[in-house]
Amino acid sequence: MESLFADLIQILAATVRLSVPLVFTALAGLYAERSGIVDIGLEGKMLFSAFSAASVATVTGSPWLGLFAAILTGVLLSLLHGFASITQRGNQIISGVAINFIASGLTIQLGNAWFGQGGRTPQLPNSARFTEITLPFASEIASVPFLGPLYARLISGQNILVYLAFLAVPLTWWVLYRTRFGLRLRAVGENPGAVDTAGISVSWLRYRALICCGILAGFAGTYLSVAQSAGFIREMSAGKGYIALAALVFAKWKPLNVLLTCLLFGFLDAASIRLQGIILPGIGEVPVQLIQALPYILTVILLAGFIGKAIPPRASGVPYVKER
Amino acid sequence: MSAPLGTLPRWVNFGLLPLLNVLVAFAISGLVVLFIGESPVEAVQYMLSGALGSGEGIAFTLYYATNFIFTGLAVAVAFHGGLFNIGGEGQVYLGGLGVAMAALALDRYMPWYVTAVVATAAAFAFGALWALIPAWLQAKRGSHIVITTIMFNFIAAALMVYLLVNVIKQPGNMSPQTRLFEPGGQLPKLGWLMQWFGLDIGAAPFNVAFLIALVAAFVVWVLIWRTRFGYEIRTMGTNPTAAVYAGIPYVKTVVLTMIISGGLAGMMALNPVMGDMGKLQVEFPAGAGFVGIAVALMGRSHPVGIIIAAILFGVLYQGGAELSFWVPNITREMIILIQGLVILFAGALEHMFRPPLIALFAAKPKSRPASAGGAA
């Protein structure tokens, strides 16, 4: 019983760790898509940000400067996406695909040229990383049954970006539903014409939404390379940007749902690692690949409308043409 | 783009504009090369000599081009119908399953040309099947085809790993792959074709799949521009509302277009699986499904353009490998960056150079454009 509980805490801790990049990235996508810009370049933004964070942290020894560089990278890539899809009214999907390619190629190329390790960045020392923070009294109450381990090993002992991710969710909710900017942002994703008629610039609103998107993508990338691991590895985003996109659809473009969905997808990820080779009674060995593919399968089923309906913001993916 | 400000001559629209977009992409790649302290001119020389300097190099280039013709055609057919098939990678995976099943079943009893016919049909069928579900979901349930095809790429990858590890793995072999196909399950090399031009194929896996790709390109041209169904696809792509109003069945057209698109992507598997490796392994598509997007955009979704673009990307792939061998500071992933820039400029920013070109060419409609050299 005791070991089962310890196991559970371990899985939950892994769930939190694996959810964090998804939470940041899905929230990033939320700002973009709520404003009517589809962003499948999230994967590339996360990857490139991870690279920038690790590179700058390597050179300066400061994780905070790494985070700053990552945010800058995320924002710049977002502005590129904005230039293509807002100003030039290009195809948003194609622009996103291009960003993913550019990130994938340029990170390895630059990494190899700068650090000579085939695209990796050097191993970061702990001083250049965001490391675990022990919350007050963690060791004192660790021995209290049930709550003690839960506090000591799940809530305490995470790095600062984990706490920021969980704060970003209510913050995003507040921005989107309780501020004028948020109201307009949601409106522009549903009916840009109406926003335009009210004398508010559709382009500028969408650019700002994309800047928010870039900032959050920067956090996601920093988490990957400077908090979770100690350096950048080629292709280290490994499809998380697409999972985040799936999570966003699954969450029906709502901030609090985003958190729950990302936790669910993180849990599936954690479980698929734990379940490797374990034979469940009555079912037999569950193929790890099935659990890994489950977020994608669930998203397709949801998209098909078999478990509720996911209706995207109405104007998403459509460039806005001002009446002439 | 809304409100066309003027019409461009055909050669500007289909020749100069794409060329300009691609040139900008290459220029930026050159700047990156310069930025990391290498010479772009030297890089281009290594690339060209590696890709086109020997018979073996040319054969490798055409081998890669074969992949890209298939996936480029796949993306293009969907584009014509107004659909974005981003699931080429998954469809290639499944196509490979079809090829492997045909080859494993027949290679000991049939000559290669019989196996090839069955394998082609199986590759098409499996790729088409993998595109059918997203297509049906888009047509019937309104789920966005871009998202579903992305999801299906990941599902396909997981499925293939599962099958290769647990179901069709060769017993006694540690790595997840099938047994080696007998000669009856392998496509012959095109050494004789290279010899016509006095070239030696060397170790390159350039094979019969190239000819199948050319036939596929011709069939796609006939289908899109010479059949009634092709007309329906294009109408659907231009204006779905008008297409439905004109009596074109929406569901049927979407589903059939995606079946053809997925089937073409699936056929790509012939080239690496039956033409090169002679067995099914994980990760054999190697990103070719995505290259198809760049190829289709660059080739303006026309089979001739696609063949040209595919060969250009073949040069990039083969030349890139040579380049990274000679200049270690430049990695193979440089090609991925170039692809990204081509997709950006030829796709997302395709309208950027249009206004200046319109100003240049549409202003003086009848006179011979003497300033053509200055524009490029």
How far apart are the C-alpha atoms of A10 and A235, rounded to whole Å?
27
A91 closest CB neighbour out of B334, B339, B348: B348
Kindly report, residue by residue over A217-238, the tens digit of the pLDDT: 999 999 999 999 999 999 999 8
pLDDT at residue B322 is higher than 60: yes
pLDDT for B167 = 83
Residue in B300, B349, B309 with CA at minimum distance from that of residue B28: B349
> Which whole-number Å values give the CA distances from A212 to A30, A34, A39, A72, A131, in the listed order?
10, 12, 13, 11, 25
A90 closest CB neighbour out of B151, B161, B348: B348
Per the CB < 8 Å rule, is B329 touching A112? Answer: yes
Kindly list the residues from chain A whose CB atom is less than 8 angstroms away from the CB atom of residue B347.
Answer: 90-91, 94-95, 97-98
Distance from CA of A159 to the nearest CA of B (A): 30
Contacts of B247 by beta carbon, 8 Å cutoff, 6+ apart: none
pLDDT for B6 = 63
pLDDT for B90 = 96
Query: Mutate which of B130, B154, B160, B332 to disrupt the A interface (most A C-beta within 10 Å)?
Result: B154
Crossing angle for the helix pair A2-34 and A202-222, to the nearest 10 degrees = 150
A303 closest CB neighbour out of B148, B154, B350: B148
Query: What is the rounded average pLDDT for all residues in chain B?
Result: 90
Question: In the numeric block, which tokens belong to residue A220?
Answer: 């996601």
Taking chain A (324 residues) in consecutive chunks of 10 residues, what is each chunk's mean pLDDT? 76 92 97 95 97 97 97 98 94 93 95 90 93 81 76 82 96 96 95 92 96 98 95 92 90 94 91 76 78 87 78 85 70
* Higher local confidence (pLDDT), B16 or A52: A52
Per the CB < 8 Å rule, is B147 touching A108? Answer: no
- For B320-346, what is the mean pLDDT? 91
Give the B window 219-248 contacts with A, CB below 8 Å. none
Residue B376's pLDDT band, with cuts at 50, 70 and 90, is: very low
Give the B window 323-342 contacts with A, CB below 8 Å. 329-331, 333-341
Asked which of A111-125, B6-20, B44-58, B296-310 is least confident by mean pLDDT, the reply is: B6-20
The 10 Å CB-count burial string (b at 16+, else e) for B291-306 is bbbbbbbbbbbbbebb
Percent of chain B surpassing pLDDT 70: 94
Residue in A161, A130, A313, A149 with CA at minimum distance from that of residue A226: A130
pLDDT for A2 = 63
pLDDT for A123 = 94
How far apart are the C-alpha atoms of B297 and B293, rounded to whole Å?
6
Q: Residue B354: closest CA among chain A residues belongs to which residue?
A: A88
Percent of chain A surpassing pLDDT 90: 65
Measured in whole angstroms, the distance separating CA A303 from the mean position of its chain's CA atoms is 20
Distance from CA of B193 to the nearest CA of A (A): 35
Kindly list the residues from chain B whose CB atom is less than 8 angstroms away from the CB atom of residue A297.
Answer: 151, 155
Contacts of A9 by beta carbon, 8 Å cutoff, 6+ apart: A149, A150, A153, A154
pLDDT at residue B44 is higher than 70: yes
At A265, the amino acid letter reads F
Q: Residue B352: closest CA among chain A residues belongs to which residue?
A: A88
How far apart are the C-alpha atoms of A272 and A285, rounded to whole Å?
12
Q: What are phi and psi of B110, to 5 degrees?
A: -125, 155
- Cβ-Cβ contacts under 8 Å between A and B: the total is 154
Q: Residue B347: closest CA among chain A residues belongs to which residue?
A: A94
Residue B371's pLDDT band, with cuts at 50, 70 and 90, is: very low
Kindly list the residues from chain B whose CB atom is less than 8 angstroms away from the CB atom of residue A105.
Answer: 333-340
Cβ atoms A37, A86 nearer than 8 A: yes
- For B11-17, what is the mean pLDDT? 82
Question: In the numeric block, which tokens belong to residue B344?
Answer: 């950006």
Kindly list the residues from chain A whose CB atom is less than 8 angstroms away from the CB atom of residue B147.
Answer: 245-246, 249, 299, 303
B97 in reach of chain A (CB within 8 A): no
B343 closest CB neighbour out of A88, A98, A290: A98
Kindly report, residue by residue over B107-145, the tens digit of the pLDDT: 999 999 999 999 999 999 999 999 999 999 999 888 888
Q: Residue A81: closest CA among chain B residues belongs to which residue?
A: B348
B329 closest CB neighbour out of A93, A113, A246: A113
Asked which of A252-256, A259-263, B323-327, B351-355 is least confident by mean pLDDT, the reply is: B351-355
Residue B19's pLDDT band, with cuts at 50, 70 and 90, is: confident
Per the CB < 8 Å rule, is A109 touching B333? Answer: yes
Distance from CA of B140 to the nearest CA of A (A): 9
Residue owning tokens 């675990």: A132
Per the CB < 8 Å rule, is A300 touching B159? Answer: no
Residue B1's pLDDT band, with cuts at 50, 70 and 90, is: very low
Strand A279-280, strand A284-285: pairing: antiparallel
* Higher local confidence (pLDDT), A65 or B14: A65
Q: Residue B82: closest CA among chain A residues belongs to which residue?
A: A91
Q: Residue A110: closest CA among chain B residues belongs to which residue?
A: B36
How far apart are the C-alpha atoms of A301 and A299, rounded to whole Å?
5
B32 in reach of chain A (CB within 8 A): yes
How far apart are the C-alpha atoms of B183 and B116, rounded to whole Å?
11
Kindly list the residues from chain A whose CB atom is less than 8 angstroms away from the CB atom of residue B87.
Answer: none
Residue B4's pLDDT band, with cuts at 50, 70 and 90, is: very low
Cβ atoms B77, B267 nearer than 8 A: no
Kindly list the residues from chain A whose CB atom is less than 8 angstroms away from the CB atom of residue B152.
Answer: 296, 300
pLDDT for B282 = 87
Distance from CA of A3 to the nearest CA of B (A): 31
Q: What is the pTM of this model?
A: 0.91
Per the CB < 8 Å rule, is A84 touching B349? Answer: yes
How far apart are the C-alpha atoms of B135 and B255, rounded to whole Å?
5
